[in-house]
């Protein structure tokens, strides 16, 4: 069942003549296949396949199947008579749909080069131009078999979802679920549904006018009460918006009070101390029980449900100074995950539908807690 390149050997007139059960050709993705001897193996039956006989069946195929079904279906047919899918040995187009600063970053380029070394005979890696992503209608976006797409600042996630619905490529990380990663409330709900341990927390919502929306906050010197739940200092205050990394840790008066204010790294700083001990009065926040973790954060990088790599770094809330090595990179140490933590990584990947997923782990008192889920990551890590 060797495919013919339509552009070089088969025209549409010839294709249309092969439209009987004794002589059945179809066109899929610019390649012509002779399926005559495989009609009886079609799961939908001979009549269903004959609808496409002698025609370009690409649109009909994609209406019914995802693109990843294409290879599996043809390999299955080939195996029935001892031949392994010669018809499906075309090169797969894998495209990266992300903002340029991510898609063209040094780690992403290195990952693509490494995959190209292993799969150069089967895969073509192409990056969507940022101008196409931002300005072109999804109908004009290039076709692909597999789509690697992930949210970052200014990325039009809704457009990427429209493209997935239109073209139905195999998607590495669930695009719809990436909206959940942008809301810390949804992250914690998903963790709870999946039975994944996470810090005790409560949510306080304010409207655009700064007014509480059906919630109640009572503040005292060394604790707060949010909707009837008590959080003794130290506790953590996180914006509901997961894109906002201005996270505060409030200290009790017994250690001097005040708060440590965390933010995205700027040069060699990741936090600073403030004498202010009162919580913020504008915005919506998630209040979280502080879990002492011996001054370290554990970063877990999961690739699929069966592999996870972990590293530890000095917690940014410790003193706010970023430790760097001789090359200027933040100092991190390899961490061996326990069997339970590997199970947690598997659950996170499956619960959020993210085949490539980073998340933060806190270790305390012999237990491990997931405190943040970041989704797709572009890092060079050993696999």
Q: What is the total residue count of the chain?
A: 383
The pLDDT value recorded for residue 28 is: 81
Cβ neighbours around 182 below 10 Å, total: 15
Domain with CATH 3.30.470.20 in the chain: 201-289, 293-375
DSSP state of 328: S
Burial 273-309 (b: 16+ CB within 10 A, else e): eeeebebeeeebbbbbbbbebeeebbbbbbbebeebb
Judge whether 235 and 289 are in contact, CB under 8 Å.
Answer: yes
The pLDDT value recorded for residue 326 is: 84
Mean per-residue pLDDT for 206-218? 92
Residue 85 confidence class, pLDDT cut points 50, 70, 90: very low
Residue 120 confidence class, pLDDT cut points 50, 70, 90: confident
DSSP state of 90: S
The pLDDT value recorded for residue 7 is: 40
CATH topology of domain 293-375: D-amino Acid Aminotransferase; Chain A, domain 1 (3.30.470)
Q: Which CATH number is 201-289's, of 3.40.1650.10, 3.30.470.20, 1.10.3720.10, 3.90.420.10?
A: 3.30.470.20
Using one digit for the tens of pLDDT, what is the confidence trace for 150-194?
999 999 999 999 999 999 998 989 999 999 999 999 999 999 999
Q: Which CATH class is domain 4-88?
A: alpha beta
Residue 2 has pLDDT above 50, yes or no: no
CA distance linking residue 169 with residue 122, whole number of Å: 16
**CA distances in angstroms from 295 to 237, 267, 316, 319, 335, listed in the order given:** 18, 20, 8, 10, 15
Residue 351 confidence class, pLDDT cut points 50, 70, 90: very high
CA distance linking residue 220 with residue 123, whole number of Å: 60
Percent of the chain residues topping a pLDDT of 90 = 56
Strand 296-303 and strand 247-250: the pairing is unpaired
The pLDDT value recorded for residue 60 is: 80
Please tell me the pTM assigned to this model: 0.75
Residue 269 confidence class, pLDDT cut points 50, 70, 90: very high
Using one digit for the tens of pLDDT, what is the confidence trace for 38-62?
787 777 778 888 888 998 888 788 7
Q: By C-alpha distance, which of 348, 271, 257 is closest to 314?
A: 271
92-172 carries CATH number 3.90.1150.10: no
Domain with CATH 3.10.120.10 in the chain: 4-88
Residue 338 has pLDDT above 90, yes or no: yes
Judge whether 286 and 231 are in contact, CB under 8 Å.
Answer: no
Mean per-residue pLDDT for 82-94? 50
The pLDDT value recorded for residue 380 is: 58
Residue 383 has pLDDT above 60, yes or no: no
Mean per-residue pLDDT for 94-117? 85
Cross-strand pairs, 266: 269
Using one digit for the tens of pLDDT, what is the confidence trace for 327-337?
888 899 999 99
- Mean pLDDT, all residues of the chain: 86
Residue 222 CA neighbour count, 13 Å, CB half: 5
């Amino acid at each position: 069942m060797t495919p013919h390149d339509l552009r070089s050997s088969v025209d549409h007139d010839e294709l249309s003549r092969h439209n009987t059960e004794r002589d059945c050709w179809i066109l899929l993705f610019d390649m012509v296949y002779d399926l005559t001897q495989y009609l009886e193996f079609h799961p939908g039956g001979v009549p269903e396949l004959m609808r496409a006989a002698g025609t370009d069946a690409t649109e009909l195929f994609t209406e019914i199947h995802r693109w990843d079904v294409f290879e599996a279906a043809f390999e299955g047919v080939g195996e029935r008579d001892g031949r392994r899918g010669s018809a499906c040995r075309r090169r797969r187009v894998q495209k990266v749909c992300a903002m340029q600063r991510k898609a063209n970053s040094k780690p992403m380029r290195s990952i693509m080069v490494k995959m190209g070394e292993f799969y150069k005979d089967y895969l073509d890696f192409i990056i969507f131009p940022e101008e196409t992503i931002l300005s072109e209608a999804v109908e004009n976006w290039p076709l692909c078999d597999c789509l690697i797409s992930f949210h970052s600042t200014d990325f039009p996630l809704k457009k990427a979802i429209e493209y997935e619905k239109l073209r139905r490529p195999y998607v590495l990380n669930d695009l719809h679920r990436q909206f959940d990663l942008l809301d810390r409330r949804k992250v914690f709900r998903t963790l709870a549904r999946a039975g994944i341990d996470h810090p005790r927390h409560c949510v306080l919502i304010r409207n655009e006018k700064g007014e509480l929306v059906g919630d109640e906050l009572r503040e005292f010197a060394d604790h707060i009460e949010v909707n009837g739940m008590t959080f003794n200092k130290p506790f953590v205050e996180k914006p509901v918006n997961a894109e906002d990394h201005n996270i505060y840790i409030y200290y009790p008066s017994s250690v001097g009070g005040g708060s440590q204010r965390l933010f995205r790294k700027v040069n060699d700083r990741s936090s600073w101390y403030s004498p202010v001990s009162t919580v913020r009065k504008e915005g919506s926040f998630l209040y979280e029980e502080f879990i002492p973790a011996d001054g370290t954060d554990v970063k877990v990088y999961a690739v699929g449900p069966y592999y996870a790599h972990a590293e530890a770094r000095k917690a940014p809330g410790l003193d706010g100074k970023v430790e760097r090595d001789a090359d200027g990179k933040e100092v991190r140490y390899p961490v061996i995950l326990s069997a339970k933590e590997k199970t947690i990584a598997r659950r996170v990947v499956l619960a959020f539908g993210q085949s490539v997923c980073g998340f933060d782990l806190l270790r305390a008192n012999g237990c491990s807690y997931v405190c943040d889920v970041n989704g797709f990551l572009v890092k060079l890590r050993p696999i």
